Amino acid sequence: GWTRHTYYDASGDTSFYVDRQDGKGQDGAKKFFPLTLWRLCDGQYEWRRRHPPSGRTLYGLQELSRRPNSQVLLVEGEKTADAAAQLFPDYVVVTSSGGSKAAAKTDWGPLQGRDCVIWPDNDDPGERYALEVAELATKAGAQWVRIVAISEGISK
């Protein structure tokens, strides 16, 4: 099935969308389709299946603005962010768009002064993503950043 994840700016206006299709067919791979609004040379606007340029909005940014004193939980992926927001309502849950290899294309500035916990996926790309996000959040001025240690006993 299809799921649409809406990225909002700090004021709550739509920034862009990411559509997710869970795997069908032989490879069973999930597929992601960003949808962004582009201004054309003639001044008209058009929706395109392209990622926004660098400086992408955090998924969950509007909640950061609404809850300035809440700790932040950083996870990998919109589906995980939605689930974590239900499980950990005391946290503002955010993620970047574009997967584990695109973290640097996100604007992490809204984490300035925030207490952040990163919960990585239990795989090698998840570990690399967590380390990169920790560095990016620190450079953006996060007050403190911690990474949850995933137990070796958890199956991958």
Backbone phi and psi for residue 23, each to the nearest 5 degrees, phi listed first: -50, 135
The whole-model pTM stands at: 0.86
Q: Under 8 Å CB-to-CB from 75, ≥6 apart: which residues?
A: 81, 84, 93, 94, 95, 118, 119
Q: What is the pLDDT, as a whole number, of residue 75?
A: 97
pLDDT tens-place values along the chain, 156 residues long: 789 999 998 888 899 999 988 776 566 677 888 888 888 999 999 899 988 887 899 999 999 999 999 999 999 999 999 999 999 999 999 999 988 889 999 999 999 999 999 999 999 999 999 999 999 999 999 999 999 998 765 554
The runs of H, that is alpha helices, within the chain are 61-66, 78-87, 124-139
Q: What is the pLDDT, as a whole number, of residue 98?
A: 87
- Distance between CA atoms of 107 and 15, rounded to whole angstroms? 13
Q: What is the pLDDT, as a whole number, of residue 93?
A: 98
Q: What is the pLDDT, as a whole number, of residue 155?
A: 52
**How would you classify the pairing of strands 14-21 and 2-8?**
antiparallel
